[in-house]
Amino acid sequence: MLKRFLATTAIGALKTAVQEYPLAMELNTQSGASQCEVNPAHIVPVTNFSANTLWSIIAHMEVSTDFEHLVYREAELDAIWSITGFFLVNEPDSKQLEAVRRLHAGAHKAHDLVADRRPAEAAVVLRSFL
């Protein structure tokens, strides 16, 4: 099964492009992440704002309890916010512009909730985009 999502270049995320990647692992239907891969002490690599990336962040939010975990979740949300911001600037004619604009604002809101030690509420915000 192929999933379409927006990917960014590795340095600076200056350009976005639509790429197709096969789904590489069995996903937990509730969180989207493999249960054995959810460790709140690890940072989720965020190179795009695909559904798989959002599910992985949500899964990690759901098990994050320590201050350090929340700092990692904030960093992941910062990355989503930055990547969506680059998309908004560089793809003004995209048919996905409004959806990405809402996700950009949602990432900001989720970030603020995590900063307030409310990761469960932040997960609800992100889940609304899936």
In a domain, 105, yes or no: yes
In a domain, 55, yes or no: yes
Boundaries of domain holding 73 = 47-130
pLDDT in tens, 34-50: 545 799 999 999 999 99
Closest CA to 94 of 46, 103, 9: 103
What is the per-residue DSSP string for 5-62?
A: EEEE-TTTT--EEEEEEE--SPPPTTTSS-GGG--TTSPPP-SB--HHHHHHHHHHHH
In a domain, 27, yes or no: no
Quick one: DSSP state of residue 103?
H
In a domain, 79, yes or no: yes
In a domain, 63, yes or no: yes
Closest CA to 79 of 32, 10, 4, 1: 10
In a domain, 25, yes or no: no
The total of structural domains in the chain comes to: 1
Calpha distance 6→20 (Å, rounded): 9
In a domain, 83, yes or no: yes
Query: The whole model's pTM is what?
Result: 0.74
For residue 37, the model assigns a pLDDT of: 79
